[in-house]
Amino acid sequence: MDKVKVGVVGLGWIAQVVHLPILKKLPEAEIVAVCDRDRSRVSLVAEKFGIKKFFTDINQMMEIEEIEAVIVSTSTDAHKEATIPALNAGKDVLVEKPIARHYSEALEMAEAARAANRKLMVGMNQRFRPDMMILKSFLEGKEIGDIFYVKAGWLRKNISNETWLTQKSRSGGGVFIDLGLVMFDVAYWMMGYPEVRRVTATHYSHRTKEVEDTSLSTITMKNGSVMNIEVSWSVFVEDDVYYCDIFGTEGSATLSPLKINKELHGNLVNLAPAKLESHQHLFKRSYENELKHFLGAVRNVHPVISTGDEAVQRMRIVDAVYKSVRTGREVTLS
């Protein structure tokens, strides 16, 4: 099978450390061109990875007919302006999370994908961690019964080196839209997408000015199940903390490390595989699996996981979280 011809837009940390190195090694992909507003950066990165064509204008790159798929890894404020021209040019698109800064931007992007009849995938790489996929298969098999409560969190000691993340006009928000959205997506996926009824949240800005650096939120579903999410860039912990604890009517499960606890013959048994991978290896594998999945979807091998339409609905929750903080009240979704 011919290789999928790929263009990459936005050459920051995630592109240089994750996307480009992985794509260069995948036999099913060929990087045709890269694009970045910074002329010196785009030329240096193109040279480093042996990419002959590079641009500072996405519209010029979209004129290359052989490009079939585009990966958008710009700052969030540029996601829409990079994604829609790519879709209109007949390219399938993988855009990094979050899809956009607000629900309205996300909706425009999803509608553009439908109008162009192209695939739009959002980079929720945590879904593609091997331990996450194992856990999801157990939950789909009802191994722990009906899920009624999930608590998930990602606590970091330091803010990312990407300074734009703390600039609200570019990021759309702080740690919730950065890490909270990831944990919500994982937990919501595990729960099987129950309809959200109510959202309440509290934010703190201890080390940031424009955006929150700590977020605590409670999301209540129409079926009565509840999700709690805590994320932070600035808590005083010895090591970064990442977890997702799931409670069902017949057992419980947790991530990092993976455990699936169920009562069998009067004893609590861990059903998870004994062999566990390191966090660093899981991180790398998640992106490898995500990119392979996207390339397979471009080739119509399988449908897209984490679609633009799904991301639009996630952004409704993001907007509700920030509305709850602004108003100091619980937000009810219709």
pLDDT of residue 276: 66
Pairing state of beta strands 147-155 and 196-204? unpaired
Q: What are the pLDDT digits (tens) for 245-286? A: 999 999 999 998 899 999 888 788 888 876 666 667 888 899
Find, among 184, 6, 168, 7, the residue nearest to 76 by Cα: 168
| Domain layout of the chain by residue ranges | 4-125+287-307, 127-275+314-332
12 three-state secondary structure: coil
Compute the CA torsion angle 35, 40, 41, 47 (nearest 10 deg): 80
For the segment(s) 127-275+314-332, the CATH number from 2.60.40.10, 3.40.50.1000, 3.20.20.70, 3.30.360.10 is: 3.30.360.10
In this prediction, the residues of the chain whose per-residue pLDDT falls under 50 are: none
Omega of the bond leading into 98 within 30 degrees of 0 (cis): yes
The Cα–Cα gap between 297 and 286 comes to 16
In eight-state DSSP terms, residue 273 is -
The Cα–Cα gap between 152 and 186 comes to 9
pLDDT of residue 193: 96
The Cα–Cα gap between 334 and 160 comes to 35
Round the average pLDDT of the chain to a whole number and report it: 95
pTM of the model: 0.94
Residues 6+ apart with CB under 8 A from 219: 184, 196, 198, 199, 226, 227, 228, 229, 317
- Looking at domain 4-125+287-307, which CATH architecture does it have? 3-Layer(aba) Sandwich (3.40)
DSSP for 70-121, please give it: EEE-S-GGGHHHHHHHHHHTT-EEEEESSS-SSHHHHHHHHHHHHHHT--EE
Residue 176: other Cβ atoms inside 10 A: 29
Cα radius of gyration (the chain)? 20
